[in-house]
């Protein structure tokens, strides 16, 4: 048994945590009804997901922008595949914001057909994409509140409300500013060698060169 199997299960080529979701729930998302006003943040892990959630919350909710409420991102733009707080997604009022790391073959049919919005861009591009007209002052305010240091100090974006069963806050902040080559400060030599071995075997056919160090030249 691989060490990961203690915590993860494999379903349709993807791995999921045992304690957060079931295969049946993932399958049920196939027929999740999409509204025209739905907004989906569809990302790879560690590619700016929290940042985009925060920007969308700042754009859509003046109360989030003005710090007049404490609703965190898990409620503002909840995870489609991990309904941790048991919210009623079906009857959630529009516009519904959702976040997901699901691959294309596992997202709802309506999302695959392009009915919902898929966002990964800058603040102004997101506003244009959504048809949201904000004043210059409002956009400036979003820019300030979307800065990494600002987000890291904001409990709504830094998962401070999560229980210690889910996140061990004593080990640091949920948000970390990743930099190229930072893996050297986290992975052991053995982990690095194992990663290199698996990566070389499984990615050998990809015609890409990856930058693993800040000094690497592409």
Give me the active site residues, please. 101
Do residues 132 and 119 lie in contact, with contact meaning Cβ atoms separated by under 8 Å?
A: no
DSSP state of 184: G
| Dihedrals phi, psi of 58, to nearest 5 degrees | -65, -35
CA nearest 138: which of 218, 58, 215, 194?
A: 58
Do residues 38 and 116 lie in contact, with contact meaning Cβ atoms separated by under 8 Å?
A: yes
Do residues 209 and 180 lie in contact, with contact meaning Cβ atoms separated by under 8 Å?
A: no
What is the end-to-end Cα distance of the chain in Å, rounded? 38
């Amino acid at each position: 048994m691989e060490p990961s199997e203690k915590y993860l299960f494999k379903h349709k080529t993807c791995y999921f945590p045992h304690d957060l979701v079931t295969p049946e729930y993932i399958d049920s998302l196939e027929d999740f009804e999409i509204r025209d006003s739905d907004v989906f943040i569809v990302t790879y892990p560690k590619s700016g997901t929290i940042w985009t959630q925060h920007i969308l919350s700042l754009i859509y909710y003046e109360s989030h922008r003005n710090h007049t409420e404490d609703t965190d991102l898990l409620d503002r733009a909840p995870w489609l595949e991990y309904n941790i707080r048991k919210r009623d997604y079906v009857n959630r009022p529009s516009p519904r914001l959702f976040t997901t790391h699901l691959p294309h073959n596992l997202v709802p049919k309506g999302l695959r057909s392009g009915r919902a919005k898929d966002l990964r861009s800058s603040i102004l591009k997101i506003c244009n994409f959504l048809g949201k007209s904000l004043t210059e002052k409002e956009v400036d305010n979003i820019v300030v509140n979307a800065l990494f240091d600002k987000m890291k100090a904001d409990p709504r974006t830094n998962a401070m409300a999560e229980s210690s069963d889910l996140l061990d806050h004593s080990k640091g902040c949920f948000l970390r500013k990743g930099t190229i080559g930072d893996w050297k400060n986290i992975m052991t030599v053995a982990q690095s060698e194992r990663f290199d071995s698996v990566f070389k075997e499984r990615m050998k056919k990809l015609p890409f060169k990856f930058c693993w160090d800040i000094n690497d030249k592409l």
